[in-house]
Chain A
């Protein structure tokens, strides 16, 4: 998915020399939080996103409906709110669980080595043998329109990236002099984890997490766009684009709204990960 759509690509892409701008991660993080806050607040503030008004379809943006209405007379602003809520919720949730699974298995593989390491690697390779979007599509097909199916598919494909980052890094750290010294001083594994493994990994994990969220948002939108993701009546960004396409001649704003919102969301997430990378890796 996507992923899914770009993580694998970005992870191995050459580092492009960027202008020495000191981008702060706080700005994109603030925009993201504002977006999430708006999406949550629209549960109470906006109109019902499923309420149809067939006498007022395709209305232009105005006082009653700030962003107009769609082909069934539903309020577009409210639908955007629901779409962002669903997308971001699923994406943040799946990326967070994927971090936990990937980090846990990566640490386990690095710590134990041997057959545990081989088994984890085999599992990761096996999952990577099928493109992520196909996984999500197939698992989503098990229970059409069910969010848990999409969620499981996203987690299943996203953890591999974290695992593949954590395992070699943690192995290198575990073999370092300071960890050996700590162990000889008698500190336990938890101490090693907390003070030697976690600090150098946390920044990169946060960056990868941000990528994973962006990828999940894109994957959900791509699936919604081809009508195999989240099902109506629940609103979804990609699905809103497909719905708006036939009315492009009469109401181009209907298509523009989800396109712009998706672009902004993904852009914010990507600049967040770039800013985090600069903050932690310089």
Chain B
């Protein structure tokens, strides 16, 4: 078990380090690609536009080392990042930390709500499809295939028009009230639940065909109890593992859905800073988003390893033991 935790910790650190370097280097080149002379721009920010002259720009250039070769500046930049000096927003002037701290909570709130909803929808749809079979399974299969192929922004757009504009059941966008989270969370959940339903269904098919399940029914266990006792643990693990695979979809969806529904999360901040070319905030938000992805990814992987008795024991030798516990 400690081996699993240790390797997870190592993985988080390497991947986080990599994310930081990539985001840092990209942001560095982003700054250099901004039009105009950086020294003049910073001098204007410090002394006001009317007090900038060549001398003050030269002073800034010498002080900040803007005349050094690019690779030395790059090293300084990455060094700043490594010591968590993220700087200030070039638009609002507030520190990037203060700007982004509240957005993380909003993003986690939305992602968690969406994920729980997706799992509930996916498990219910998958179970109904496998237990009932027939035309209803066919319909669910088709719906899941369509949902898996649809991008979150299209689902969100249609939900927004259908539920908020036409039916007026929910607010179109916004943040603060409980009802505001429903539409964006449902959008992400619909984008995710198709895949989950298919995973649940294919695993359930194996369980229902197993001897253990047949015996449970022969000895008179009602279907619900038999499912809970024999199918739930067997289905839970692949569902959890699959949601790790879906994290990419979730993170990418969050960026788009937050922007569509004006949800003040990290993705919203990232897109707005890109539009405003506010490099320090772009760097901070991309870093936060990348780290969130790395951490969640490792969390899910580690949870799967710890929950799966076959992997917890270190090898697959006891595979049949924990299969339908």
- Which of A's residues lie within 8 Å of B, judged by CB? 1-6, 8-10, 12-16, 126, 129-134, 137-144, 218, 221-222, 225-228, 238, 241, 245, 248, 255, 259, 262-263, 266-267, 270
Contact = CB atoms under 8 A, between A and B. Distances in A.
Contact of B290 (A12, A134, A245): A134
Contacts of A267: 149
A134 B252 contact: yes
Contacts of A15: 202
Interface residues of B, number: 50
B245 A130 contact: no
Given A130-B293, A226-B256, 17 more contacts: A2-B252, A9-B195, A9-B248, A14-B199, A14-B203, A16-B145, A129-B18, A129-B293, A134-B255, A138-B286, A141-B277, A142-B29, A142-B30, A221-B151, A225-B153, A228-B271, A259-B154
B187 interface: no
B270 interface: yes
Contacts of A9: 148, 195, 245-246, 248-249
Q: Which residue, A2, A137, A141, has most C-beta atoms of chain B within 10 A?
A: A141
Interface of B: 15, 18-19, 22-23, 26, 29-30, 33, 141, 145, 148-154, 157-158, 161, 165, 195, 198-199, 201-203, 242, 245-246, 248-249, 251-252, 255-256, 259-260, 270-271, 274-275, 277, 282, 286, 289-290, 293-294
Sorted nearest first, the 4 A-B pairs with minimum C-beta distance are A14-B202, A133-B252, A226-B259, A131-B251
A82 B239 CA distance: 42
A226 B271 contact: yes
Contacts of B145: 16
A221 B153 contact: yes
Contact of B19 (A129, A139, A266): A129
Contacts of B277: 141, 144
Nearest to A224: B153
Contacts of B153: 221-222, 225-226, 238
Given A16-B202, A141-B282, A225 B289 contact: no
